[in-house]
Amino acid sequence: MGDTMKRQFRLVDLPLFVFLIVFLPGSSLFAKAQDSQPPATYTPPGKQLYRNHCASCHGLDGKGSGPVSHSLRKPPPDLTSLSKRHGGKFPGDYVTEVLRFGLNYSSHGSSEMPVWGPIFQDEEHYNEGGVRQRIRNLCEYLESLQQE
């Protein structure tokens, strides 16, 4: 009688085991744990990058009136007028160079602005494609802020 009970118990356990293996990973509990981390190739959108890295000096509106702008030696430039200051066309290459390598041009503003290339390299764990994508996303967002 003991062997029969063990055999019946094992037959009942097998479908339960298969069910748990097949359906548990699709459950909402498992899905929530997976969703809490961004995918390995996640790159924040430009608006988020701007808010996290630029708005404290340039302001949420990009006009140079961020909360720490008054403490800088030279006020941050108005980023909404980049196109206007460059002949009506958004200077994507220029902005990319400033973000990536920094430029000490007076039209850019003070040299108090951090050079974001190395910071993005660290945040992207030296994934060059991720760094380029961050800069591209940020440039696209800055282009969307341009005044007409």
For position 126, what pLDDT does the model report?
A: 84
Does the pLDDT value for residue 70 go beyond 70? yes
pLDDT at 111: 60
Residue with more model confidence, 114 or 23: 114
First to last CA, the chain: 87
Residue with the two structure tokens 């000490």: 104
User: What are the boundaries of each domain within the chain?
Assistant: 2-35, 46-144
Task: Tell me the residue length of the chain.
Answer: 148
Query: What's the mean pLDDT in 31-36?
Result: 51
pTM: 0.67
For residues 6 and 32, give the distance between their C-alpha atoms in angstroms, rounded to a whole number. 37
At 35, list the tokens: 């969703």
pLDDT score for 6: 53
- 55 vs 82: CA distance, rounded Å: 16
Q: What CATH number should be reported for the domain whose range is 46-144?
A: 1.10.760
DSSP one-letter string for 90-113: --HHHHHHHHHH----TTT--TTS
Identify whether the C-beta of residue 124 lies closer than 8 Å to the C-beta of residue 134.
yes
Q: Which among 71, 79, 74, 75 has a CA at the least distance from the CA of 54?
A: 79
pLDDT value for 40: 63
Residue, of 42 and 45, whose pLDDT is higher = 45
Which tops the pLDDT comparison, 103 or 131? 131
pLDDT tens for 74-124 read 899 999 999 999 999 999 999 999 999 887 644 444 466 778 888 888 888
Alpha carbon distance 123, 42 (integer Å)? 11
The mean pLDDT of the chain is 79
